[in-house]
Structure 1
């Protein structure tokens, strides 16, 4: 019985040390090739644009990075990113939650 208890304690301690180490690792995504990063981009169509106000409304497919389904919504975006865009443009983009504001971090014309 003592051997089983000792083994359980050692196993618990080992898992307790390994879990934070694994959680803190980048899981290899830092070296992900650009093609794989683009696979995470979402397709969308610009519906409304306010470059001066830094807002863009996009009808988009699923946003896997945010756990959201397809819908139309307004995002924050830097005016420079919106400079050559107009309503009706088809785009591929990435967005993230920055301090509670959904923000477009990358946008390119859809091919």
Structure 2
């Protein structure tokens, strides 16, 4: 009986580790859209884009965090392709190009 409980405990530990470790992995999504607003001082960009399945986002206009150095040549109205992730309940653009 004790041996069975130990095996069950070990199995449950493996299941929980698998569940929680997969949740913490950032999913990366490629998308295209249009720049609506650029705020280098705040490190933010507002993008209008279609549905992004990987991040479970419907078509929308959304404010993303972004490294201000990536904003150098961008202005409202630019058509862009970008890569975004969800990090700590925020969406972050990690690369972007016209």
Q: Secondary structure at the match of 1:41?
A: strand
Q: Secondary structure at the match of 1:42?
A: strand
Q: Please, which runs of 5 or more residues in structure 1 have no aligned partner?
A: 1-15, 24-36
Structure 1's consecutive aligned runs of 4 or more residues displaced over 6 angstroms after TM superposition are none
Q: 2:37 aligns with which of 48, 57, 69?
A: 48
TM-score (normalizing by structure 1): 0.61
**Count of residue pairs the alignment pairs up:** 79
Hey, which of these two has a bigger chunk of helix by percent?
A: 1
| Inter-partner Cα distance in structure 1 for 2:94 and 2:81 | 11
Please say if residues 65 and 96 of structure 1, whose CA atoms lie closer than 8 Å, have aligned partners that are also in contact.
Answer: no
Q: 2:54 aligns with which of 65, 80, 89?
A: 65
Cα RMSD for the two superposed structures: 2.3
Larger RCO (alpha carbons 8 Å, 6+ apart): 2
Pairing of 1:32-111 with structure 2 (within 5 A):
41-109=30-98
Q: Secondary structure at the match of 2:54?
A: helix
Q: Which range moves more in the overlay, 79-88 or 62-71?
A: 62-71
| Inter-partner Cα distance in structure 2 for 1:59 and 1:50 | 15
Larger Rg computed on CA atoms: 1
TM-score (normalizing by structure 2): 0.68
Q: Please, which runs of 5 or more residues in structure 2 have no aligned partner?
A: 1-10, 19-27
